[in-house]
């Protein structure tokens, strides 16, 4: 949390991964606890596979909706290279939750650019704590790649200034209204995300 | 979208600026709302269409949408119209005379400026229209203010019988914040009252209205001076005082919590005397406005000493990362250092969707030599990018037609054998393209037009238009027959072809044949956008590794589901070195369009075996 009691969470990925929805659910959870909140992204053409970065700020009173570089408390990366792209937005020593899955854009397939060799190592070199896991594999194991954003939300649950149950409730509320048959599988995805984060945390603290 | 029960009064809702305006429009008792989709304004009308008691429509273009709203306001109804910044360029012909007639029912025009160009061909400052048309401009800073100012704008519009511009920016339209909502108050239509001297703008009639407009300017200026939308926060650190509006005001408050700030909510006409008095209370005055130095120029002309664009950029958003260093420098304080430099990562520009029908069109165009392609505004503008590089000009909605004709008539010696093509989407064609085609026909232009009918306004999210056969609520509506339409504009029947953009040989042959004929042709493609309900997914494909020869033909299609797994340099018998690209298909994303299958000579692409476990993306 920064000096003015505002929590800054940056969620990044690419269009179509559910980044904006995940941030919105997070915002709803913060609001349910009585916080003021603002959520912003510039995503005019994000539906077309472009970069998405979604900013969430919550606390007693939020003015500017934008998180400035070097001030995010938590960075949640839905894709490997995108996590690297935005990691300088974290405050020094800040925490990164990172999906290690790689989504290669056409410009890389066409040979115009290279995909970074090891985004995880580059982020660690910058001195951030990283909990890295393959959320896409977890989602596919549960049967649907679209569960990836609930997995990522689950991973965030133990790093928020409120209990995990509040976030889970916000997720399930959304599904019970729109897709009740998806409630149970999302509960599982959430718990799988929490477990993946815990496992990654243990890996992080183990001596190399 | 179907009507839903609006949230009860006093609810605290997390709403985007667009959703907040929609709620306020409904609460204000608006009876007619019209718009053409355009990022970042689209969701205003989309959400309004879900409220009961309002007639809403997707109009064919912004000018028509404003005219619909004007008619409703003349009939005494409250009416609303919204558009992106470039939309007002189209609608401005109506606006500039509307200011002379004024309105009977309240009329609010929300204009969304894409500050930072997230999805636009330029960056404009719509506050100019307030000055140009002599009408008031309100500038909200977040969702709550967007909600409140929309309601205030309707009251103001009706009281002074003047249309009001609500100037928004992407950082309001698309930001979600908490909004406390209220009750709806119905406003019955007063009914149209015949008054030719007011509603019929002949030269003589308009000449009499112009002095009234100047009189109204004085009234508006006096109102701005006392408006509660212009707030002063007196602050304690008097070294720099700020005048700011819109999201820039939020950024100023965030960056300089102790500074005196005059917030301009009612920013046109500028409350000069209020600002003059404020300026006297601070050591230096800095004007923080996105994009142009409008207020700054007016203050300087009025002899108020201030700084603005000398120290702040004229382009993009004025966020804390811009403001803090600029003000530190002004005060001679150490400039806060950038905490960490960004990592070097490839760019990730927007791409066409997997199986997009435009892929076949651009794959084909990329193979045809000696052509110049005049493009337009929509998803197909992406054809300018890799791997196609098959679009040579883009200016504005519908411009592909007139520009193609100009390229034809103005051709130089070096272009003498070039064929001119124009590429335009269904909605853009109906918006402003068909007049251009009529001009090509009438003036004997030699242009081959590709009319990409994907039955949607694709780029903004698949909204309906007169070519989709559905209205804004998804209900059945009359559908334009494009072939008949272009025929009635004068294109010869034998020069009109309707082709399936997924059948590459036919598409290629049709284009190649038509560009050889020295008169106007129209080739209409007829497959829907993959993001709308009309699109039906087919069985996905995969690559048989052993059969792939690395020719790269499928990569040239540009589908994001095709990934190169390895590259290999080989020397051909001719001595030429080529790079082979071996591929795989992301089967979970593939929807079986066959565009990559058709150019695959070794038949290495086959229907996927879906009984096998799905493979993960691995580079």
Q: What is the CATH number of the domain that holds B405?
A: 3.40.50.970
Domain hosting residue B178, numbered range: 12-226
- Tell me the C-alpha distance between B544 and B354, whole Å: 20
The candidate with the shortest Cα–Cα distance to A204, out of A156, A137, A196, is A196
Q: Does any domain span residue B341? A: no
The answer as to whether B104 is a domain residue is: yes
Residue B459: count of CB within 10 angstroms of its CB: 27
Q: Any idea which residue has 């194991």 for tokens? A: A141
Contact B92, B109 (CB under 8 A): no
Predicted-assembly ipTM surpassing the 0.90 threshold: yes
Task: Give the total number of structural domains in chain B.
Answer: 4
Cα B532 from Cα B560, distance rounded (Å): 18
Residues B271 and B405 in one domain: no
**Three-state secondary-structure class, residue A132:** strand
Q: What is the pLDDT of residue B459?
A: 87
DSSP string, B284-319: EEEEE-SSS-HHHHHHHHTT---BSTTTS-SSS---
- Convert the pLDDT of each residue in A61-76 to its tens digit: 999 999 999 999 999 9
Strand partners of residue B571: B577
Specify the pLDDT at position B3. 52
Note whether B33 and B83 are within 8 A (CB): no
Chain A residues within 8 A of B345 when measuring between CB atoms: 81-82, 84-85, 116
pLDDT at position A126:
94
Percent of chain B at pLDDT above 70? 98
Interface test with A, best of B4, B43, B345 (most A CBs within 10 A): B345
Determine the residue of chain B that is closest to A134 in CA distance. Answer: B616
Domain assignment present for residue B612? The answer is no
The answer to whether the Cβ–Cβ distance between B352 and A40 falls below 8 Å is no
The confidence score (pLDDT) of residue B484 equals: 98
CATH label of the domain that carries residue B324: 3.40.50.920
Query: Are B506 and B373 within one domain?
Result: yes
Q: Which residues in chain A have their CB less than 8 angstroms from residue B259's CB?
A: none
Show which of B192, B226, B260 is a domain's final residue: B226
Tell me how far apart the alpha carbons of residues B472 and A185 are, in angstroms, rounded to a whole number. Answer: 34
Does A114 touch chain B if contact means CB atoms closer than 8 Å? yes
pLDDT tens digits, residue range B125-179? 999 999 999 999 999 999 999 999 999 999 999 999 999 999 999 999 999 999 9
| CATH architecture entry for A7-104+113-203 | 3-Layer(aba) Sandwich (3.40)
In chain B, which residues have their Cβ closer than 8 Å to the Cβ of A46? 350
Say whether A64 and B319 touch across the interface (CB within 8 A): yes
Overall average pLDDT of the B473-492 stretch: 97
Show which of residues 263-322 on chain B sit within 8 Å of chain A, judged by CB atoms: 319-321
Smallest CA–CA distance, residue B566 to chain A, in Å, is 9
Can you tell me the distance from the alpha carbon of A73 to that of A84, in angstroms, rounded to the nearest whole number? 16
Q: What is the average pLDDT across A66-92?
A: 96
Instruction: Identify whether the C-beta of residue A82 lies closer than 8 Å to the C-beta of residue A9.
Output: no
Rounded Cα distance, B272 and A83, in Å = 48
For the cut 50, the answer to whether the pLDDT of residue B358 exceeds it is yes
Q: Are residues B207 and B258 part of one domain?
A: no
Nearest to A81 among B171, B345, B531 (CB): B345
Residues B33 and B173 in one domain: yes
pLDDT at site B432: 97
In this structure, is residue B416 part of a structural domain? yes
Of A24, A27, A64, the CB nearest to B251: A64
Task: For residue B462, give both structure tokens.
Answer: 């698949």
Q: ∠B422-B424-B425 over CA atoms, to 5°?
A: 160
A vs B: CB pairs below 8 A: 178
B253 → closest Cβ in A40, A63, A111: A63
Predicted local confidence at residue A25, as pLDDT: 95
Ramachandran sector of residue B558 (left: φ over 0; alpha: ψ -120 to 50; beta: rest): left
- B345 inside 8 A of chain A by CB: yes
Angstroms from B411 CA to nearest CA on chain A: 33
Q: Are residues B206 and B235 in the same domain?
A: no
Selected residues 519-578 of chain B with any CB under 8 Å from a CB in chain A: 531, 555, 558, 560, 562-564, 567
pTM (2 decimals)?
0.95
pLDDT tens profile B585-600: 999 899 999 999 999 9
Claim to verify: residue B205 and residue B281 sit in the same structural domain: no
Query: Distances in Å between the alpha carbon of B609 and those of A138, B476, B600?
Result: 22, 39, 19
Identify the pLDDT of residue A208: 45
* Percentage above 90 pLDDT, chain B: 92
Is the same domain home to B206 and B258?
Answer: no
What is the per-residue pLDDT across B9-18, written as a single tens digit (0 to 9) for each? 999 999 999 9
Rounded to 5 degrees, φ, ψ at A137 are: -65, -40
Same domain, B361 and B420: yes
Would you call B342 and A85 a contact, using CB atoms and an 8 Å cutoff?
yes
In this prediction, residue B187 carries a pLDDT of 95
Nearest residue of A to residue B354, measured between CA atoms = A48
- What is the predicted pLDDT for the residue at B5? 80
User: Quick check: B522 and B493 in contact, CB under 8 A?
Assistant: no
Cα–Cα separations (whole angstroms), residue B205 to B97, B197, B208, B372: 11, 6, 5, 48
Question: Does residue B346 sit within a domain?
Answer: no
How does residue B613 score in pLDDT terms, banded at 50, 70 and 90? Answer: low
Residues B208 and B300 grouped into a single domain = no
Q: Could you tell me if B601 lies within 8 Å of chain A, comparing CB atoms?
A: no
Residues B310 and B376 in one domain: no
Which domain-ending residue is among B166, B196, B226? B226
Which of A13-22, A36-45, B42-51, B310-319 has the weakest average pLDDT?
A36-45
Q: Quick check: A121 contacting B, CB < 8 Å?
A: no
Look at residue B618 in the predicted model and tell me its pLDDT: 43
Task: Tell me how far apart the alpha carbons of residues B1 and A190 are, in angstroms, rounded to a whole number.
Answer: 31
Flag if B175 and A81 touch (Cβ within 8 Å).
Answer: no
Confidence (pLDDT) at B490: 98
Q: Is residue B344 part of a domain?
A: no
Question: Could you tell me if residue B351 is inside a domain?
Answer: no
What value does the mean pLDDT of chain B take?
Answer: 95
pLDDT in tens, B411-468: 999 999 999 999 999 999 999 999 999 999 999 999 999 999 999 998 888 899 999 9
What is the pLDDT, as a whole number, of residue B588?
Answer: 86
Burial of B300 from C-beta contacts in 10 A (0-12 / 13-18 / 19+):
middle
**Residue B1 pLDDT more than 60?**
no
Of B320, B342, B350, the CB nearest to A64: B320
Which of A49, A65, A101 has its CB closest to that of B351?
A: A49
* Mean pLDDT within B468-489: 97
The 10 Å Cβ neighbour count of residue A16 is: 18
Q: How far is the C-alpha of B454 from the C-alpha of B462, rounded, in Å?
A: 9
Contacts of A42 in chain B (CB under 8 A): 116, 118, 170-171, 174
Residues 376-405 of B with CB under 8 A from A: 379, 382, 386-387
Tokens of B100: 């002379």
d(CA B230, CA B162): 20
B135 and B281 co-located in one domain: no
For residue A122, give how far its alpha carbon lies from the nearest alpha carbon of chain B (Å).
Answer: 8
Domain boundary among B292, B313, B330: B330
Split at pLDDT 50, 70, 90, the class of B195 is very high
Whether residue B239 has pLDDT greater than 60: yes
Together in a domain, B304 and B362: no
């Amino acid at each position: 949390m920064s000096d003015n009691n505002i929590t800054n969470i940056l969620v990044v990925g690419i269009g179509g991964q559910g980044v904006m929805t995940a941030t919105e659910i997070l915002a709803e959870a913060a609001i349910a606890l009585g916080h003021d909140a603002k959520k912003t992204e510039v995503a005019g053409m994000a539906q077309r596979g472009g970069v998405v970065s979604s900013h969430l700020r919550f606390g007693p009173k939020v003015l500017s909706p934008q998180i400035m570089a070097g001030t995010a408390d938590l960075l949640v990366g839905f894709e490997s290279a995108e996590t690297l792209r935005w990691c300088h937005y974290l405050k020094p020593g800040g925490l990164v939750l990172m999906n290690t899955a790689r989504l290669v854009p056409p410009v890389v397939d066409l040979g115009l650019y290279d995909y970074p060799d090891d985004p995880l190592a580059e982020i660690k070199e910058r001195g951030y704590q990283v909990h890295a896991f393959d959320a896409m594999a977890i989602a596919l194991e549960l049967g649907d790649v679209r569960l990836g954003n609930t997995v990522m939300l689950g991973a965030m649950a133990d790093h928020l200034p409120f209990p995990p149950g509040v976030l889970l409730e916000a997720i399930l509320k959304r599904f019970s209204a729109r897709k009740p048959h998806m409630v149970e599988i999302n509960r599982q995805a959430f718990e799988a995300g929490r477990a993946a984060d815990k496992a990654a945390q243990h890996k992080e603290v183990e001596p190399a | 979208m179907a009507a839903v029960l609006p949230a009860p009064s006093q609810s605290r809702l997390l709403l985007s600026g667009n959703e907040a305006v929609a709620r306020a429009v409904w609460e204000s008792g608006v009876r007619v709302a019209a718009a053409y989709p355009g990022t970042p304004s689209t969701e205003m009308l989309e959400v309004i269409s879900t409220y009961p008691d309002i007639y809403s429509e997707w109009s064919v273009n912004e000018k028509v949408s404003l005219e619909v709203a004007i008619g409703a306001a003349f009939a005494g109804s409250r009416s609303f119209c919204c558009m992106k910044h470039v939309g007002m360029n189209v609608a401005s012909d109506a606006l500039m005379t509307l200011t002379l007639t004024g309105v009977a029912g309240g009329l609010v025009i929300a204009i969304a400026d894409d500050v930072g160009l997230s999805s636009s061909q330029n960056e404009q400052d719509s506050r100019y229209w307030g000055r140009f048309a002599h009408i008031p401009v309100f500038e909200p800073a977040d969702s709550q203010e967007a909600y409140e100012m929309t309601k205030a704008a309707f009251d103001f519009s009706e009281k002074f019988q003047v249309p009001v511009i609500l100037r928004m920016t992407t950082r309001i339209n698309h930001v979600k914040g908490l909004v406390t909502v209220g009750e709806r108050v119905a406003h019955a239509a007063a009914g149209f009252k015949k008054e030719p001297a007011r509603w019929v703008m002949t030269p003589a009639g308009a000449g009499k209205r112009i002095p009234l407009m100047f009189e109204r300017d004085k009234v508006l200026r006096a109102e701005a001076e006392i408006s509660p939308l212009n707030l002063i926060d007196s602050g304690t650190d008097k070294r720099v005082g700020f005048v700011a509006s819109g999201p820039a005001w939020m950024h100023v408050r965030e960056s300089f919590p102790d500074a005196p700030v005059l917030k301009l909510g009612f920013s046109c006409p500028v409350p000069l005397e209020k600002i003059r008095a404020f300026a006297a209370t601070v050591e230096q005055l800095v004007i923080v406005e996105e994009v142009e130095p409008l207020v700054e120029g007016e203050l300087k002309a009025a002899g108020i000493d201030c700084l603005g664009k000398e120290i702040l950029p004229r382009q993009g958003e004025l966020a804390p990362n811009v403001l803090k260093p600029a003000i530190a420098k002004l005060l001679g304080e150490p400039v806060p250092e950038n905490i960490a430099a960004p990592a070097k990562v490839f760019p990730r520009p927007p791409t066409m969707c997997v199986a997009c029908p435009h892929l076949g069109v651009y794959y084909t165009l990329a193979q045809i030599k000696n052509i110049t392609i005049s493009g337009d505004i929509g998803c197909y503008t992406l054809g300018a990018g890799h791997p196609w590089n098959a679009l040579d000009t883009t200016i504005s909605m519908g411009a592909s037609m007139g520009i193609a004709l100009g390229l034809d008539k103005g051709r130089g010696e070096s272009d003498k054998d070039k064929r001119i093509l124009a590429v335009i989407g269904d909605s853009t064609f109906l918006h402003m393209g068909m007049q251009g085609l009529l001009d090509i026909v009438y003036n004997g232009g030699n242009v081959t037009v590709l009319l990409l009918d994907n039955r949607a306004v694709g780029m903004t999210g698949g909204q309906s238009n007169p070519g989709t056969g559905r209205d804004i609520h998804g209900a059945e509506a009359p559908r334009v027959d494009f072939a008949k339409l272009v025929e009635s504009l004068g294109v010869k029947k034998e020069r009109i072809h309707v082709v399936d953009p997924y059948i590459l040989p036919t598409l290629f042959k049709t284009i190649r044949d038509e560009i050889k004929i020295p008169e106007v042709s129209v080739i209409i493609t007829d497959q829907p956008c993959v993001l709308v309900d009309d699109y039906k997914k087919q069985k996905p494909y995969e690559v048989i590794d052993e059969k792939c020869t690395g020719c790269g033909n499928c990569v040239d299609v540009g589908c994001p589901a095709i990934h190169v797994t390895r590259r290999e340099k080989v020397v051909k018998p001719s001595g030429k070195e080529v790079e082979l690209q071996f591929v795989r298909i992301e089967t979970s994303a593939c929807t079986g369009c066959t565009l990559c299958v058709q150019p695959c000579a070794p038949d290495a692409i086959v229907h996927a075996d879906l009984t096998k476990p799905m493979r993960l993306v691995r580079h």
